[in-house]
A and B are shown apart, each in its own frame.
Chain A
Amino acid sequence: MDILQHLSAVLSLEVMWFIALGTLGGLVIGALPGLTATMGVALLIPLTFGMAPVAGLNMLIGIYIGGIYGGCISAILLRTPGTPSSAATVLDGYPLAQKGEAGKALGMATIASFVGGLFAAIVLATLAPQLASIALKFGAPEYFALALFGLTIIASLSGDLLKGAIAGLLGVLISTVGADPISGVSRYTFGLPGFAAGLSFTPALIGLFALSEVFVQLEKIVGDKIVTLKVSGRWPNRAEMRESVPALLRGSLIGTVIGIVPGVGSGTASWIAYNEARRASKTPEKFGTGHVPGVAATESANNAVCAAALIPLLALGIPGDVVTAVLMGGLMIQGLAPGPMLFESRPDIIVGIFGGTFLATVFMFIFGMLGIGLFSRILLIPKRLLTMSIVTFCFIGAFSINLNPVDLYTMVAFGVLGYVMQKFGFSQAALCIAMILGPMAEANLRRGLLQTRDNVLEFVSGPITITFLVLTVLSLLWPLLRDLKARRRMAEQPN
């Protein structure tokens, strides 16, 4: 009965309007090369500050789902993925467009994103409550071990383990600015009242993911005109649909599983799904030449990640990928702490998010199918105008939360930091997620040590704690073993 009541709140005209608006906005953001779903969510978090939590959070989820889907548009029409998660879609999407079948490629991408998103949304609604009920039994040591696992897996998956770990440690260090969670002592505040409660998280996010991208775009903007391919038709034929079904299902499953694992993300999911689809195909030679199942595999996988990445965020308080880490900022400005307690204290929010995820996926499908003919026009927005508009949005967003000009400096500083990190191969995602998980790890470590009177063995004696610590060690060793294996294979090859 309660569930129906909570669901009816999502179906109100106001909430549905915001979900539709978010999904459409996300689609446009995702379609434009250089603008990512992460940037879209970071930029628009401040707007949700004054909204009802279910409306605001679902608008952000709409941006996320629309943004990941939108990435396929420029991947197919321009050979430039709008978001990193659509990089694999270029392989078959662009050749299809070159053959004059851009509409078919976009149609298949829309269907695949819908199927993948819906599949993962069902898994989210069924698995997250089960996981949360287990997590309710966690104490300080378990939470510390979980946060540590989240931190290491993100560092280890960020390409360069050393640089990922440095970014992670820096993120935790930055998160210690402000009052100490146990004693209340001020740390690194330099007597500035603006830092007493810690660095403002949302302006930092806007700087890290939106403003830094503006700096990156500054290097790329040239006077060239964008030439897109014509779009006609939208449905793959029956034979192509039948041929794509296994790739669709496999992609949805791969995306869902990868989405649940913290830190991996939709980019990896779509590459794995593409490789698996090619491996399992009877005609693998067709992949890369404009083969519809190739698009089905990548797009079902990357959109399945969206809903699946919400599972660890909602059930454990650990973001599944970088967009959900940013989404956590949206929950935080509503005064909500994601994690198992949210299922007990605010079931309306949880049910609202489940319902909103379904609705956003449906809106994405509708907008996708209706807008296929208009997609090529989105890509014609002048780059310089777009870049300066983003700068304006960054400033309004960072200022509007606390009406504090210090937040603007914080945003600019993090924008520069984000740009430098990108330039030198450090993971911004690791820094961001560490800034979120750092306080959780520190508070639970010190609380646990206080409870056990500094007895470390007692602190790590619980079975769940041990499991997470073992997983932590494995996640650190995995990239090292992988590199070693790759080097051995290289050495074994004759040339």
Chain B
Amino acid sequence: MIGRRADVWLGLVLLAFCGVAGWWTLRIPSVGTGTAAGPSFVPWIMIAGIAILSVAMMLRALLHATPAAAEGQGATSRATLLRLGVFVVLLVAYAGLFLSVGYLTTTIVVFIAGMFVLGERNWLFLVVLPAVLTGAIYFVFTQFLGVWLP
């Protein structure tokens, strides 16, 4: 578990989210539904609840501060964060190109790039197996399971 200090930052992020969500909720048109509980009734309760609990979480973190040594427990290293960031960008690009470029090309490229990011350097595992696996998965899904893939 990451240290309590992170909870203060998380609380601030959640409060900012509540602010944005509140702004969006104001834009929900109010229509007569025969009850005081309109379309924005439940969203407002949820936003208020998240805001109150976020403040409570921050207060708890501030009042029960953990020793500095415990703060770093479970924290992610900068290299891992970078790897995660690259991976997320790769997946967003995969999502963007999946339909337009097609499953086979995008998947082979993303598979190989992903294996590289994960530290694979053996060419058999880096290139050959991803290509074979991607083709095999395509064949099984389209021919046996009737799934349409672009």
Contacts and interface: CB of A to CB of B under 8 A. Distances in A.
Nearest to B29: A185
B147 A400 contact: yes
Given A185-B29, A405-B95, A442-B42, A387 B118 contact: yes
Interface stretch (A70-78, A161-169, A331-339): A161-169
B24 interface: yes
A433 B53 CA distance: 19
Contacts of A415: 91
B63 interface: no
B74 A423 contact: yes
Nearest to A173: B46
Contacts, number: 158
A191 to B, nearest CB: 11
Contact of A445 (B14, B42, B120): B42
Given A166-B53, A392-B107, A446-B35, A425 B130 contact: no
Nearest to A445: B37
Interface residues of A, number: 59
A341 interface: no
Interface in A397-433: 399-400, 403, 405, 408-409, 411-412, 415-416, 419, 423-425
Given A412-B91, A446-B37, A173 B99 contact: no
Nearest to A387: B118
A47 interface: yes
The binding surface of chain B is classed by DSSP as helix
A219 B76 contact: yes
Contacts of B143: none
B42 A172 contact: yes
A165 B53 contact: yes
Interface string A431-452: 0000000100110011001100
Interface in A118-160: none
Interface in B33-61: 33-43, 46-47, 49-50, 53-54, 56-57, 60
B73 to A, nearest CB: 11
Contacts of B33: 182-183, 446, 450
Contacts of B34: 450
Contacts of B107: 392, 395
A170 B42 CA distance: 12
Given A385-B133, A388-B115, A169 B80 contact: no
Contacts of B37: 445-446, 449, 454
Contacts of B146: 50
Contacts of A165: 49, 53
B57 A166 contact: yes
A176 B37 CA distance: 14
A176 B24 CA distance: 12
B46 to A, nearest CB: 4
B68 interface: no
B39 A185 contact: yes
A50 to B, nearest CB: 6
13 contacts: A50-B147, A162-B57, A162-B60, A173-B50, A180-B39, A182-B39, A384-B118, A384-B125, A388-B118, A391-B110, A391-B114, A403-B148, A450-B33
Nearest 7 A/B pairs, CB to CB: A408-B95, A180-B39, A173-B46, A185-B39, A169-B49, A384-B118, A442-B42
Interface of A: 46-47, 50, 162-163, 165-166, 169-170, 172-173, 176, 180, 182-183, 185-188, 211, 215, 218-219, 221, 223, 382, 384-385, 387-389, 391-393, 395-396, 399-400, 403, 405, 408-409, 411-412, 415-416, 419, 423-425, 438, 441-442, 445-446, 449-450, 453-454
